């Protein structure tokens, strides 16, 4: 299965282990998803990887990965996160460039694009491009104002 995995800058996971592009990794023991789980955690939706990393205040690396072997599926219906897995084997295919990530984001549904906007700090040029592409979409524009431009009153109730 192909999916996405996020790392701290330098391909370092949350536990300080450094990974390399092109290498295959193997997890020992029972494969379980979660903070106390075991295996290589990936998401089928790129934006869902940002749930576990602060891409607003830190540089992150997002990679395309191929995983196989024993696996554990996790769906968090309450928060709307689906198709997250832990796998026994993971190969890092490539690190995505900022341009590839942004091109991916521009093709997302409104719901998924709003999630992306809320989780990853965009550059001024990226913001302008999204605003132009979605100039008639009030929901996307409000999401940009709130999350990217810190206009917290955008969702305030009107009296």
pLDDT-derived band of residue 48, with 50, 70 and 90 as boundaries?
very high
Mean pLDDT of the chain: 93
Residues 67 and 140 in one domain: no
Predicted TM-score (pTM) of the model is 0.90
- Local confidence band at 80 (pLDDT 50, 70, 90 cut-offs): low
Neighbours of 21 (CB within 10 A): 14
How many domains would you assign to the chain? 2
**C-alpha dist (Å) from residue 59 to 12, 64, 102:** 11, 17, 14
Taking the C-alpha atoms of residue 31 and residue 37, their distance in angstroms, rounded to an integer, is 7
Residues 71 and 121 in one domain: no
- Structural domain span for residue 38: 2-95
Q: What is the pLDDT of residue 83?
A: 84
Residue length of the chain:
159
Residues 87, 9, single domain; the answer is yes
Q: Single out the residue in 53, 73, 95 at which a domain terminates.
A: 95
Helix (H, G, I), strand (E, B) or coil at 84: strand
Choosing from 50, 72, 95, the residue where a domain stops is 95
Q: 79 or 4: whose pLDDT is higher? A: 4
């Amino acid at each position: 299965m192909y999916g996405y995995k996020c790392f701290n800058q330098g391909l370092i996971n949350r536990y300080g282990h450094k990974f390399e592009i092109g290498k295959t990794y193997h997890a020992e023991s029972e494969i379980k998803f979660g903070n106390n789980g075991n295996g290589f955690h990936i998401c089928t939706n790129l934006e869902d990887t940002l749930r576990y990393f602060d891409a607003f205040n830190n540089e992150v690396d997002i990679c395309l990965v191929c995983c196989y072997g024993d696996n554990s599926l996790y769906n968090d219906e309450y928060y709307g996160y689906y198709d997250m897995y832990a796998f026994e084997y993971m190969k890092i295919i490539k690190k995505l460039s900022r341009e590839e990530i942004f091109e991916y984001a521009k093709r997302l549904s409104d719901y998924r694009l709003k999630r992306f906007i809320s989780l990853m700090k965009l550059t001024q040029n990226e913001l302008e491009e999204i605003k132009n592409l979605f100039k008639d979409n009030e929901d996307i524009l409000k999401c940009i104002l709130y999350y990217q431009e810190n206009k917290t009153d955008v969702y305030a109730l009107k009296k």
